[in-house]
């Protein structure tokens, strides 16, 4: 079968998404080295598993979205590895909460599987696509936390430009993939990702010089109400988790 332009963009999207899927590795390595989950949260990884599961089920129901299927299976695999490592070192005081998060995720994925297996193909596909897009858009709302923190601290420390550009590239590639296939379910959430990434780049440009000035001037003290922040890059955006807010 000849490779089409949509296949090319799909493959490029998988490659860029793989970079994003690998980016939490330093955090996971630290957890493994410390033998403790510290103040990090497993919730971003669990949310990504749920979202990728719905996209996977949708791709199966549609039947001709191989690149989407492969991409999300890869995402699920990496996130599950991260969750297993995280759960192995979570403190006893947080195990019940971790178990609750995992149970809720399992129920949601189970509902998706039931929709695929029990509903007529058209209804099942529609339900799965709506759920996947909604989850995607909720994820894209997470950078609002980054924007607020940048404005408050006048620092782009928690707005890494390389990751933002990678998210932008990922959204552009998958958006183009959806456009070439005339698939609005893929196109719409990635348009949101492109807009979100552009806004973050604009924000970075506005505050990067101030951040540099603050580092050079020892008299300038940047205070933040969040002492430790976890940057969790997942497919399509950068999720910021303030330890203590989600456990």
Per-residue pLDDT tens digits for 44-101: 899 999 999 999 999 999 988 999 999 999 999 999 999 999 999 999 888 999 999 9
Q: What is the pLDDT of residues 71-87, one digit of tens each?
A: 999 999 999 999 999 99
pTM reported for the whole predicted model = 0.82
Asked if 166 and 237 touch (Cβ cutoff 8 Å), the reply is no
């Amino acid at each position: 079968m000849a490779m089409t332009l949509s296949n090319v963009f799909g493959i490029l999207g998988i490659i860029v998404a793989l970079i994003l899927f690998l980016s939490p590795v330093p955090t996971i390595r630290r957890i493994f080295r410390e033998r403790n989950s510290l103040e990090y949260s497993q919730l971003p990884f669990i949310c990504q598993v749920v979202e990728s599961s719905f996209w996977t089920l949708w791709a199966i129901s549609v039947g001709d979205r191989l690149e989407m299927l492969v991409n999300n299976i890869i995402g699920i695999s990496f996130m599950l590895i991260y969750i297993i490592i995280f759960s192995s070192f979570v403190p006893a005081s947080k195990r019940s909460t971790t178990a609750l998060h995992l149970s809720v995720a399992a129920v949601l994925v189970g509902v998706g599987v039931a929709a695929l297996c029990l509903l007529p193909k058209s209804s099942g596909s529609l339900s799965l696509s709506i759920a996947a897009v909604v989850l995607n858009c909720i994820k894209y709302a997470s950078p609002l936390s980054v924007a607020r923190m940048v404005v408050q601290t006048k620092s782009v420390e928690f707005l890494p430009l390389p990751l933002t550009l990678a998210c932008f590239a990922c959204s552009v590639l998958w958006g183009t993939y959806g456009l070439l296939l005339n698939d609005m379910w893929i196109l719409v959430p990635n348009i949101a990702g492109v807009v979100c990434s552009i806004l973050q780049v604009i924000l970075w440009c506005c505050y990067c010089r101030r951040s540099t000035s603050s580092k050079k001037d020892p008299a300038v003290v940047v205070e933040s109400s969040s002492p430790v922040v976890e940057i969790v890059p997942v497919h399509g955006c950068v999720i910021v988790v303030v330890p203590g807010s989600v456990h």
